[in-house]
Structure 1
C-alpha cells in the first residue's frame, strides 16, 4: 500500500503598495490566483495575511500582516508561503535572505502565482536573489528621480507632492476652514499663547469661565482658535503645533526637506500659492520659538494665572510665582492673588480708557518693513552680481569675498530691524480695537498678560502686618514711559 503523503499547510500573503479606490480589488485578484496554486498542489490554506496599500520598499515601514506572518512562521504554524509575485512579499534583499534561510534550514516552501520563484530549488533561489537585487536597484533609481523632481518643483515654487499641508489642497488651493484655523494658531502664538494651550483649543477643550464682576478669572485657552481635527486623526499636541508654526509654506515660501528654498541670489523662492500669514508674522513666530528665555523662564509656556512670571517683587525685582492662592517671592512677598489681580485689572482698564492711549501703543511701520525688504533684496543682488563677476574673472576672489561678507552683514542688520517692527503684535488686537476696554474684557489669558506687559510694570511689596484689606500703596503699577523714573526699593 502506498504511503499517504503529509498535507502541506500553506499561508497566503497578499499586498499592494497603493489602493487607489480603497476597495481592495487588486488584493482580491491576488487571492484568487494564490488559492488556485494551493488547490493545484493539494495544499491546505491555514492562514491569509494581507497588507493593503502598504509599500514594501521602505524597510522601516510597518506591515502588520507581514509581521504576523513572520511571527506565525517562527511558531511553525505553516510549511509554505504562496504570494502573487516575489516583490509582493518583499523588496528588501535582507528579508529575502531570511526566507531563503528558512527554506534551506527548515524546509519552508515559497512559491509565487506566476511560477517565478521556488525556494525549494537552487535555480529558484538564484532567480529570487537576482530579482530582489534588480528590484532594489530600481527602487533606488526611482527614489533619485523623485528627489530630483521634488527639488525642481521646489525651485519653481510649485506645491510639493505627497501629504498636503493643513489649510491647502495638494495642488495649493486654500481649504477655507482649515486656513482660518492656521491663521488663528499663528496669531495666538504670537500673542503669547502656549503651544499646549493652542493644542487644547484645537481639541475642543473648554475655556475657563469668567465672572463679569470679577475679571480675575480669564480664559486660559486662546479664544480665537477653532476646534479642528488633526490630519492624522491623533490628538493635537505641542509637537504637532510646533511643526505647523515652523512650516514656511504658510508665509508663501517654497520649502524642501523642512528648509526654505532660495534662488541663486539667496532670496526665498516664492511659492505658487496664496500665503496664509504674512512673512513678518512668520518670522516673529520663529523668533519666539527660538527665544531661549521662552524655554528657560517659561515665558510663553503654560500660565494659569495673570501675574505669575509677570509681576515683579518690589524688593529684589524678580518675577513672582504662583503659590496656592497667592503670589510669592521667597523671603520677600506673599500676597493674595485675587486681590492683586483685581487691582491690576482695574488699573489696566483705566489706562485703556485714556484718550491719549495712542501715545502708549507700539507703532507698526509697514512702509518701513517694505523698505527693509527691498533693501535686503538689493544686498542679495549685490552678492549675485559679485558672484557673476568673479565667474567671469572681472574681480578676484578676495574682492568677491569682501563684497559678499559686507552684504551678508548688512542683511543681518536689516533682518534684525525688520523683526523689531513686529514687537507689540501680542497686544495689538486689544490696544488698537475700537473699544480697547471691551476688547480687554474679552481677551484670553495670553492677550491680557501681553497688554499688561506692554503698558506697565507691576511691583508687589509686602503687606503691612495685621491688615487683611488690600493696601493699594503696596502695589506699584507704573506706565512703561515712567518706569525708569519710578525705580525704587520700597513703597
Structure 2
C-alpha cells in the first residue's frame, strides 16, 4: 500500500521585530526548510507572522488564521515550526493541534526537538511547555506593567509604541511635533475632526452637492500632510487619539490617564511639551461638549457667520439658508453683503498697532502665587492623610479636609490655567502682518478671530429699501 505523501506547512513568527528587517523570521525559515529537506517532505506553504505576539488571544494573526483554515481543507498533513511557543502560547489553541494529531494524524515537528503529538508523552511535554511559557509571559507582563507605572510616576517617557512627535526617548521629532501643534490649533479654532484628518492625509477637499448648491469642505490650511506609519490615511479616531493624549501638554500618563502624585498634583513629564496645558484643556472641553457630540451633520462650518452672528431681535445664532442668513420668524439676510461688512471691520481692527493687547498678558507674579497656593493646599491634604493613618483625626474630619482642599485646588488651577492659556486666534494676531495672515487663514481660523474681536448682530432690512443698509449690521468690539 503506497504511503501518503507528506505535504508540509511551515509556520514562522517573531513577537517583536526591533529593526523591521525580519532577520529572526529568516533564521527560523532556514532551520524549518532544512528539516523538510532532510525528511523528504514537500513544503506546500509557508505562513509568516512578523512582529506579532501569540500571548494575547485577541491579537489578530492573519497568517496563523489562514493556516488553520488551510489545514481544515486538507492542504497539508504535516506542520513544521521552530518551537512550540512560536506556534502558540494559548493552551486552548494547542489542544486544537493535539486533537488534529490524535484524530487526523497530523505530524508536528519543531526545529529544536521533535514534539510528537501522536503519543501521550509528546502531548504531556507539549502541554507542560505551553503552560510554562504562558506563566512566564504573565510574569513578564506583570514586570513590564510595574516598570511602566514606575516610569510614569517619575515622569519618564513611556516605553512601547512611539507617540507621534516624539522619539522613544522623549526627544522631539520637529516635523511631527509641528504637525501635532497645528492639529491642536486647528481644532481649537473650530475645524472638524474629519477636516483635520483629510488635511493630515494630504487629500483634496471633498465636494458634495446639496440641492442646487455645491459645498466644498474647508480644510485647515495650517495642518501639513503627515504620513502615518501604517501608510493608511488618517481618520477622525486617530486625530482624537492625539487630541486626548495629555503627554502633548507635558503631563505624565499611564493607560490614557494623567498620573498624579500622593497629593493629587499632575506629574510633569521629563520631556518638552508640544502645546500649553491650557490649550490641551480647552481642546478637552470642546471634545466633551454635548453640542458637538449630538451634531449629526458634523462640526464643519461652510459659511463665515453661521452659528456665530446673532439675531438682533432674539440674540440667537443665525443659520445659513441658501445664500442668506436666517433666524426663523425674525430675519432673512443676504450673506455676501453682511460678510463684507464684517470682514472690513476685522481687517481694520487687525491693522491697529495695539493688537497685541488683545492677547491675555501672562502675569508671572500671580502665576507663581497660584502655584504656591496650590502646593500649600496639597501639603495640607498630605498632612491630613498622614494624621488619619496615625489615628490622630477621625474619618469624618479627614473627609471634610479633603473635600475643602480639593475645591480650593480646583479653583486655583482654573485661574492659573486661564492666565497661561493663549487664544485660539493667537497665531494670526501675533503674525508679522495680521491682516495678511487673516486673509490667508482657513474658515475656522477666521471665525475664531471674529469671535475674539467682536459680536455681530443682524437686524431686519428696513422696509421699503432695496439697497443694503450697513446700519442693519451692528458690530460691537470686545
Fold shared, TM-score > 0.5 on shorter chain: yes
The 1-side partners of 2:14 and 2:434 are apart by 60
Q: CA, structure 1 residues 35+434, in 2 after alignment: closer, same or farther (shift >3 Å)? A: closer
The 1-side partners of 2:28 and 2:428 are apart by 63
The 2-side partners of 1:339 and 1:284 are apart by 33
* Equivalent position SS for 2:425: helix
Q: Check whether the contact 1:112–1:118 (CA below 8 A) recurs between aligned residues.
A: no
1:236 and 2:207 correspond: no
The 2-side partners of 1:471 and 1:353 are apart by 25
What's the counterpart of residue 371 of structure 1?
369
Q: Check whether the contact 1:10–1:80 (CA below 8 A) recurs between aligned residues.
A: yes
* Equivalent position SS for 1:335: strand
How much has 1:468 moved relative to structure 2? 4.8
What's the counterpart of residue 164 of structure 1?
162
What's the counterpart of residue 273 of structure 2?
275
The 2-side partners of 1:219 and 1:455 are apart by 25
The 1-side partners of 2:356 and 2:411 are apart by 29
Q: CA, structure 1 residues 299+268, in 2 after alignment: closer, same or farther (shift >3 Å)? A: farther
What's the counterpart of residue 488 of structure 1?
none
Unpaired segments ≥5 residues, structure 2? 207-214
How much has 1:133 moved relative to structure 2? 1.1
What's the counterpart of residue 324 of structure 2?
326
TM-score, with length taken from structure 1 = 0.87
How much has 1:165 moved relative to structure 2? 1.1
Q: Check whether the contact 1:311–1:458 (CA below 8 A) recurs between aligned residues.
A: yes
1:428 and 2:413 correspond: no
Q: CA, structure 1 residues 10+380, in 2 after alignment: closer, same or farther (shift >3 Å)? A: same
Q: Check whether the contact 1:193–1:300 (CA below 8 A) recurs between aligned residues.
A: no
* Equivalent position SS for 1:413: helix
Matches within 5 A, 1:350-361: 350-353=348-351, 361=358
Q: CA, structure 1 residues 23+474, in 2 after alignment: closer, same or farther (shift >3 Å)? A: closer
What's the counterpart of residue 210 of structure 2?
none
What's the counterpart of residue 100 of structure 1?
98
Q: Which moved more, 1:149-158 or 1:177-186?
A: 177-186
How much has 1:466 moved relative to structure 2? 7.0
How much has 1:94 moved relative to structure 2? 0.8
The 2-side partners of 1:430 and 1:112 are apart by 65
* Equivalent position SS for 1:425: coil
The root-mean-square deviation of aligned C-alpha atoms, in Å, is 2.8
The 2-side partners of 1:205 and 1:468 are apart by 43
Q: CA, structure 1 residues 23+339, in 2 after alignment: closer, same or farther (shift >3 Å)? A: same
Unpaired segments ≥5 residues, structure 1? 209-216, 481-491
What's the counterpart of residue 473 of structure 2?
475
The 2-side partners of 1:218 and 1:88 are apart by 52
Q: Check whether the contact 1:327–1:336 (CA below 8 A) recurs between aligned residues.
A: yes
- 1:383-417: CA deviation from partner (whole Å, max 9, x where unpaired): 11211222333333333222211101111222233
The 2-side partners of 1:281 and 1:222 are apart by 17
1:18 and 2:34 correspond: no
How much has 1:354 moved relative to structure 2? 5.5
Matches within 5 A, 1:40-439: 40-205=38-203, 220-296=218-294, 301-353=299-351, 361=358, 363-367=360-364, 368-421=366-419, 425-431=423-429, 436-439=434-437
The 1-side partners of 2:34 and 2:346 are apart by 81
Q: Check whether the contact 2:276–2:421 (CA below 8 A) recurs between aligned residues.
A: no
The 1-side partners of 2:356 and 2:32 are apart by 78
Q: Check whether the contact 1:167–1:179 (CA below 8 A) recurs between aligned residues.
A: yes
Q: Which moved more, 1:301-310 or 1:49-58?
A: 49-58
Q: Check whether the contact 1:16–1:27 (CA below 8 A) recurs between aligned residues.
A: yes
What's the counterpart of residue 445 of structure 2?
447
- Which of 6, 9, 15 in structure 2 is aligned with 1:8? 6
- 1:140-179: CA deviation from partner (whole Å, max 9, x where unpaired): 1110011011111111111111111111111111111222
- 1:189-209: CA deviation from partner (whole Å, max 9, x where unpaired): 23333323322322234689x
Q: Check whether the contact 1:261–1:269 (CA below 8 A) recurs between aligned residues.
A: yes
1:459 and 2:449 correspond: no
Q: Check whether the contact 1:24–1:52 (CA below 8 A) recurs between aligned residues.
A: yes
How much has 1:433 moved relative to structure 2? 5.3
- 1:269-292: CA deviation from partner (whole Å, max 9, x where unpaired): 121112222222222222222233
How much has 1:89 moved relative to structure 2? 0.9
- 1:245-268: CA deviation from partner (whole Å, max 9, x where unpaired): 221112221111111111111111
